[in-house]
Amino acid sequence: MREGLRFYIDGEWVDPMQPRVVDVINPATEKAIGRVSLGSAADVDRAVAAARIAFATYSQTSKAERIALLEKVIARYQDRLDDLAETISLEMGAPMSLATAAQAPMGLTQLNGALGVLKDYEFQRTQGNTLIIKEPIGVCGFITPWNWPTNQIMCKVAPALAAGCTIVLKPSEVTPLSGIILAEIMDAAGVPCGVFNLVNGDGPGVGAAISKHPDIDMVSITGSTRAGVLVAKAAADSVKRVTLELGGKSANIILPDADLREAVAHGVEKCFGNSGQSCTAPSRMFVHASQHAEALEIANQVVSGLAVGDPASPDTAIGPVANKSQYEKIQALIQKGIDEGAELVCGGTGKPEALQTGYYVKPTVFGNVRNDMTIAREEIFGPVLAILPYETEEEAIALANDSDYGLSGCVYSGELKHAVAVASKLRTGQVHINGASADFTAPFGGYKKSGNGREWGVEGFEEFLETKALMGAFP
């Protein structure tokens, strides 16, 4: 049993102001693997006060000093990669193969990315006799999710540290143990007292306190659109900067000239990766009506080859979803798809026959889906794919854009220029062309209800900066 009953504030592990302990549940076994304390507004006040004091000095550090600090954090992070992978798998059910190859290393990717931006970034430029300066925005409050815990923490923490900001972090209460390891990494790297602070807790107790705190200059959340709206409303009274990385219902357009088998197989695997628990999952696949029946056959074949099971097994491709409430939500939406008349190709409600303990979901594919069905409108956040037929390219683009969301997307075509032309018409923040992998130096963020602001690369770094103009700075 792992315990995380203290918070990391001002360089020390401190007791919560009001004890409130909850269990951390392993979704593969439905049993507790640890206990953590949930904080309150009083704990947030203490963390913000420490961050505010630390900002006065940390914001004045040189680029060279921050580069040296990030290099130390990276070294200590590398020391804990195995611990992080094991902990993430236990907390949220990622197969160990995924936790080792992607989940844990993604935080390292974000740190190295921020370091690279910092090394090349110019914080001052001249314009006539005016000096234009980029300065750290201040104290940043971060609210992060459970689906990619170290990635989502570090894509905020790493650029904030690089920019000269100080931090109050609330990891998800579903995956708090990996957040505690990250705090230990910061401590071991010698991050100055008060620069990084961690307060575990839930949304009402800690998230709301961070969002509305008058001494926090910026709040950034990765989460559901519902949660993002609440954060933005709470932050409005103090006119702080707000960045929101929210839900997605990404479209995957397979054009008739694409290699259908390759495109469908890749789309299924991308949708079902991390048990479908990625906001960028291409969960709406658009296939030409003449190829629809064949696409369903291919999808069924691919799913039959995806092993669902114990995250510790090296053969497992799909583990459980992260918690009971998520499992129940997914089950209700699968049933909704059946009730609304979508064609159930494989999967369905209930758990896989041999996996009655744990929050396991049958990988599910629906065909003949209409874009007005619930499974095509709502973010399911589980291993569920909707395949929608279209008649013309223009219809496919219109259907793809007919969504409240606009976070990511995919286009497949046998002719690259054709794919690029279609991708340019999608109202979404990113498009993967012909199976291209993510570029973590490129900006990431959404249109519409998928949020605002950007993460990753130079654009993500600049979210943590204010701009000052000194007129008459030169003769």
Token readout for 293 is 């029946």
Instruction: Please list, in sequence order, all residues whose beta carbon lies within 8 angstroms of the beta carbon of residue 405, skipping any fewer than 6 positions away.
Output: 225, 246, 247, 248, 249, 250, 379, 428, 446, 447, 448, 449, 450
Token readout for 390 is 């279209």
pLDDT attached to residue 300 = 98
Q: What is the 3-state secondary structure (H, E, C) of 125-147?
A: EEECCEEEEEEECCEEEEECCCC
Q: What is the mean pLDDT of residues 141-169?
A: 98
pLDDT attached to residue 29 = 98
Catalytic residue among 86, 91, 245, 455: 245
pLDDT attached to residue 5 = 97
Pairing, β 465-470 against β 409-412: unpaired
Query: What is the crossing angle of helices 176-188 and 81-92, to 10°?
Result: 160
What digits encode the pLDDT tens for the residues 226-253?
A: 999 999 999 999 999 999 999 999 999 9
The span from the first CA to the last CA of the chain, in angstroms, equals 66
Give the helix/strand (H/E) hosting 180: helix 176-188
Give the helix/strand (H/E) hosting 346: strand 343-346
Nearest to 329 by CA among 277, 381, 364: 381
Known catalytic residue at 193: no
Q: What is the mean pLDDT of residues 349-354?
A: 96
Torsion sign over Cα 159, 161, 165, 171: positive
Q: What is the mean pLDDT of residues 190-198?
A: 98
Torsion sign over Cα 453, 455, 460, 461: positive
Question: Which letter, b or e, does each residue of 323-359 get, where b requires 16 or more Cβ atoms within 10 Å of its Cβ?
Answer: beebbebbbebbeebeeeebeebbbbbebeeebeebb
Work out the mean pLDDT of the chain and round it to a whole number.
Answer: 98
Known catalytic residue at 279: yes
Give dist(CA 255, CA 398) in Å, integer: 14
Q: What is the mean pLDDT of residues 116-139?
A: 98
Q: Model pTM?
A: 0.97
440, burial (CB in 10 Å: exposed 0-12, middle 13-18, buried 19+)? middle
Instruction: Please list, in sequence order, all residues whose beta carbon lies within 8 angstroms of the beta carbon of residue 164, skipping any fewer than 6 positions away.
Output: 58, 59, 60, 61, 66, 135, 136
On the question of pLDDT at 150 being above 90, the answer is: yes
Torsion sign over Cα 77, 203, 454, 466: negative
- Under the banding of pLDDT at 50, 70 and 90, the label for residue 1 is confident
Give dist(CA 386, CA 268) in Å, integer: 10
What digits encode the pLDDT tens for the residues 437-452?
A: 999 999 999 999 999 9
Give dist(CA 123, CA 285) in Å, integer: 43
CATH superfamily placement of domain 2-246+450-470: Aldehyde Dehydrogenase; Chain A, domain 1 (3.40.605.10)
Give dist(CA 148, CA 27) in Å, integer: 15
Torsion sign over Cα 73, 74, 75, 81: positive
Catalytic residue among 140, 165, 279, 410: 279
DSSP output for 211-275: HH-TT-SEEEEES-HHHHHHHHHHHHTTT-EEEEE-----EEEE-TTS-HHHHHHHHHHHHHGGG
Tell which phi-psi region holds residue 217, choosing left (phi > 0), alpha (psi between -120 and 50) or beta.
Answer: alpha
What digits encode the pLDDT tens for the residues 55-95?
A: 999 999 999 999 999 999 999 999 999 999 999 999 999 99
Architecture of domain 251-440: 3-Layer(aba) Sandwich (3.40)
Question: What are φ and ψ of residue 360, in 5° steps?
Answer: -90, 140
Q: What is the mean pLDDT of residues 347-363?
A: 97
Give dist(CA 7, CA 184) in Å, integer: 11
User: What is residue 409's three-state secondary structure?
Assistant: strand
Q: Do the two domains 2-246+450-470 and 251-440 of this chain adopt the same fold?
A: no
What digits encode the pLDDT tens for the residues 45-59?
A: 999 999 999 999 999
pLDDT attached to residue 178 = 98
Query: Is residue 275 within 8 Å of residue 377, measured between CB atoms?
Result: no
Query: Is residue 8 within 8 Å of residue 40, measured between CB atoms?
Result: no
Count the alpha carbons within 13 Å of 258 in the hemisphere toward its beta carbon. Answer: 30
What digits encode the pLDDT tens for the residues 287-328?
A: 999 999 999 999 999 999 999 999 999 999 999 999 999 999
The residue to which tokens 């409108």 are assigned:
377
On the question of pLDDT at 429 being above 90, the answer is: yes
Count the alpha carbons within 13 Å of 166 in the hemisphere toward its beta carbon. Answer: 28
Q: What is the mean pLDDT of residues 255-276?
A: 98
- Amino acid identity, residue 61? T
For the chain, what are the domain ranges?
2-246+450-470, 251-440
